[in-house]
Amino acid sequence: MTPTRISFEKWFERQYASMELCFLCGKTLTKDNSTKEHIFPQWILNKFDLWDKSITLLNGIRYDYKRSIIPCCNVCNNEHLSKLESIIKNGVEKGYQFFKENVPLIAIYQWCQLIFYKWLYKETFFKENVKDPHSEKIVRKENFESMSLNHLLLRSIDKRIKFENFFPGSIFICHLKTGQNASDNFDYLDAVPEQCIMLRLGEIGIVVMLADSEIQKYVFADQYRVYLSNILAPIQLKNLFIQCMYRQHLFNDPYSFELKDITDDSLTISQIPKENFTGDVYTEWLHTDYAILLNQVFGGGMHNYLVEKGIPSFLFDKDGNFKDRAFDSDGTILPNE
C-alpha cells in the first residue's frame, strides 16, 4: 500500500468527542475505512478473561471492557497498531524474563501511552454526572486540548519520530506473583494529572511515567532497586505506582521540547533546558499528604501510614527488610509489618 502523504499540520488533526475521525491519524472516517479499536486489545481480554469484567471510570461508573472501543481507520488499526500489539503480545506470552530482555523500551512506552490516551479519548464521550443532562464530560474540551503532546508522542507509532537526546518517560518492569484465576492477574491504574500508568499482565508488572524524560528512573534508582530485584505481590506493585505517582505530583519539569527536521512523514524532537528554571526538580515530600494518598488507595486509616522515619511501604517489614507477601495480600495488612 502506498502511504498517503499529508501536510505536517495534519499530524495534529484532533476533534473533541468525535466519532468521525481516526483517534490516531485524524483521517476522516467513512463506511469503507472505519473500524473500532478496543482500548484493551482482544488478546488481553481473552488471556485474562475480561470480556464480562468492567473497569471504573473517572466518574465512578463501571464500564465493560468489551464495550470500550474508539474510532480508528483501517490503516492505523490493521497496520500500525497491529504491529505494535504483536510485539507486546509476543513479549507477554513468553513471560517476564523475555519481556524485560527483548521487548524494546520504545514499544513498551508507545503501548502504555496508547492505552492511557485511548481511555481519556473514550472519556470525552461520558458525562461527569450521568444523572444530570447538563453535566460536563469526564474529560472536558480544555483537558483534551492539553493532551496534544501525548498525541504527538503517539504519532511515533505511525510516523518516523526521532527522540534526539532523551527518552520520553521512566519505565519500570517488575516480576510478579500470580493467582489461579486469569482475571485476578490483570489490573490497570492511571493518574491523569501526573501522567502515570500501571499495568499488571500476569507475572509482568509495568509502571510508566509518560512525561518525565526518565528522570525518576535515574534520580531514584537506589530507592526503586528493591522493587526491581524481588518477586512482588500485586499490592507491592500498586505501592510502587503510588510512590511514583506522588513523586510525579511533586515534579517540576526542567525541560521543554523543540521540533525540528520536519517533513510530511517525520520529525525530530529535541529536549532543551527551560530558560530561567529555578527551584528543585522535585518539591518537598510531605508525609501527611502521602499518608492521605495511601489511605485513599488501601484504606485502614491515615494514622497507619504515618511512620516516625522513612516512607511507609508494603515492601518492607518493621526491620526494613524485604517483606515476601502473599499474592492476595491487601491493605488490611499494614505497611512495614
**Residue 20 counted as domain residue:** yes
**Residue 50 counted as domain residue:** yes
Looking at residue 192, its pLDDT comes to: 92
**Residue 266 counted as domain residue:** no
**Residue 18 counted as domain residue:** yes
**Residue 142 counted as domain residue:** yes
Given a cut of 50, the residues of the chain with pLDDT beneath it are: 1-6
Looking at residue 1, its pLDDT comes to: 32
Looking at residue 319, its pLDDT comes to: 82
Radius of gyration of the chain from its Cα atoms, rounded to whole angstroms: 21
Whole-prediction pTM: 0.94
Domain range for 142: 8-158
**Residue 274 counted as domain residue:** no
Looking at residue 7, its pLDDT comes to: 56
Number of structural domains the chain divides into: 1
Looking at residue 334, its pLDDT comes to: 66
> Are 108 and 206 contacting, i.e. CB atoms less than 8 angstroms apart?
yes
**Residue 214 counted as domain residue:** no
**Residue 118 counted as domain residue:** yes
Looking at residue 245, its pLDDT comes to: 97
Looking at residue 106, its pLDDT comes to: 98
CA 150/CA 158 separation, integer angstroms: 14
Looking at residue 60, its pLDDT comes to: 87
Q: Which three cell numbers stand for residue 276?
A: 530561567
Q: At what angle do helices 234-249 and 287-298 cross, to 10 degrees?
A: 140
pLDDT tens digits for 145-194?
888 889 999 999 999 999 999 999 999 999 999 999 999 999 999 999 99
Q: Please give the C-alpha separations between residue 307 and each of 60, 98, 106, 149, 238, in angstroms, as whole numbers.
A: 31, 38, 38, 38, 19
